[in-house]
Structure 1
Amino acid sequence: MSRVKPILFNTDMVRASLDGRKTVTRRCMKPQPQGYFEVNEEPLYIYDTSLGQGQIHSPYQPGDILYVRETWHKYTKRVGTGECCHMAEFYGYKASIANSEDAGERWKPSIHMPKEAARLWLKVTDARVERLQDITNKDVEKEGVEKKCIDSYIRQMPCETEEYIRLAYIIAFQDIWDSIIKKKDLLLYGWNANPWVWVIEFEQCKKTEEI
């Protein structure tokens, strides 16, 4: 039976997922392995023997159903006409402000979003272990980095060799990665630290009654 678990996405991640651009996410392994370790594929975990840390499990496994927690709020508005007119509650999402009714409301942090408010549901299709800097150009795009951003960096390169194109992809992803890491944690989990990460691939799915 599939596990149903929450996952936190910031506003840009939500937009990229809704657009179909983001189909993978990387999460830092905590604690970080310190030396030799073995990878168990199913369920996915590493066994770190260097400091006696034992099994460090991936937070998400293939088959898991994830509901995305995003910046949100609940607001009320009048619906219906005549005797049927009444006030009803709705959820609003910062990633897609579309209504004048909710645009001015106070936003609540994603960590506090209840499951019932989730609109984006994902099914984990694959999970693996990698070093952060092992990300491929294809995976940079699958992380939701906009192609126009990558192309902008390519145009700034001395020439369009394979090496410089690779550098453009890396800079585009590094900018985003380091922006979501707390400053105090950059030495441990920033791009230059090249931490071990869980690579979680997913596809959108619909919420069912069982979920």
Structure 2
Amino acid sequence: MAIKPILFNTEMVRAILDGRKSCTRRLVKPQPDEKHTYPLGFVTDSTEKKEVGCFGFDANEYGGSIQYVKPPYRYAPGDILYVRETWKKAPKGYYYYEDWQRNDIADVTKWKPSIYMPKEAARIWLKVTDVRVERLQEITDNECIKEGIYPSNCRDCNDIFGCDVCPDEGYDEVDKFVEVWNSTIKKSDLNRYGWDANPWVWVISFERCEKPEGVKK
């Protein structure tokens, strides 16, 4: 078991806390070139240790030259992730921006970016259950829901389905996911990484878990 960080924005932190998000998609970087478009799978054993845990792309199923890419932080099933979110120090612990935005419980001192959150400040812990590679446009309606984009309009609703407040008639999960995905990509990179570009992505599935023993409070 390895303990590794993962970043989420405020909206996705709320989705995890609400139990609506159980997977995330992250860009494969670098993207395989045009000659390497056949996904071979993960390297589990190799004379080159640096390749273990990487994913290989080949020209076709018969082999040849292989292009390797590695997951962010080499995420793998069984890893424990601590969620980095916007935060700041409190007199007896920590404040989290998502709570402040929702309940106005913190003061107005400067917030710290999620990238600088130390492990001991994390309140959300996740266990990786699966890591795979696919094209972005392979996502299904059910996978969109697992990404935490549903419900669409009501942040205060505790019901995921059948809510009288959050209308689901005519709701298109994929369209909503496209909107969310493209909003995370720089405009200058949309032609490479946006929905229409259909890039390769890591699909990282997870479940909530308790903080591991031995991690400082």
Q: Same fold by TM-score, threshold 0.5 exceeded?
A: yes
CA deviation string 1:62-112 (max 9, x = no partner): 111100000111133xxxxxxxxxxxx421001112464x24222111111
The residue aligned with 1:85 is none
Which residue identity is paired with 1:20? G
Distance 1:171 1:179, change over 3 A: same
- Following superposition, the deviation at residue 207 of structure 1 comes to 0.6
CA deviation string 1:15-35 (max 9, x = no partner): 000000000000000000123
Which residue identity is paired with 1:133? Q
Which residue identity is paired with 1:39? L
Q: Distance in 2 between matches of 1:106 and 1:173?
A: 31
Q: Distance in 2 between matches of 1:128 and 1:144?
A: 18
Which residue identity is paired with 1:182? K
The answer to which structure has the higher helix fraction is 1
Which residue identity is paired with 1:191? W
CA deviation string 1:111-130 (max 9, x = no partner): 11111110000000011111
Q: Does 137-146 or 178-187 show the bigger shift? A: 178-187
The residue aligned with 1:94 is 97
Q: Distance in 2 between matches of 1:6 and 1:205?
A: 14
The residue aligned with 1:40 is 41
Output the TM-score relative to the length of structure 2: 0.77
List alignment gaps of at least 5 residues for structure 1: 77-88, 156-164
The answer to which structure has the higher strand fraction is 1
Runs of 4+ aligned residues of structure 1 deviating over 3 Å after TM superposition are 41-45, 148-155
> In the alignment, is the contact (CA less than 8 A) between 2:38 and 2:58 conserved in 1?
yes
List alignment gaps of at least 5 residues for structure 2: 45-52, 60-64, 154-160
- Following superposition, the deviation at residue 48 of structure 1 comes to 3.1
1:66 paired with 2:69, answer: no
The residue aligned with 1:201 is 205
Matches within 5 A, 1:18-57: 18-34=17-33, 35-41=36-42, 43=44, 45-49=54-58, 54-57=67-70
RMSD: 2.4
Output the TM-score relative to the length of structure 1: 0.79
Between the aligned residues of both structures, percent identity stands at 50
Greater gyration radius: 1
Matches within 5 A, 1:1-211: 2-34=1-33, 35-41=36-42, 43=44, 45-49=54-58, 54-59=67-72, 60-76=75-91, 89-97=92-100, 98=103, 100=105, 102-149=106-153, 154-155=169-170, 168-211=172-215
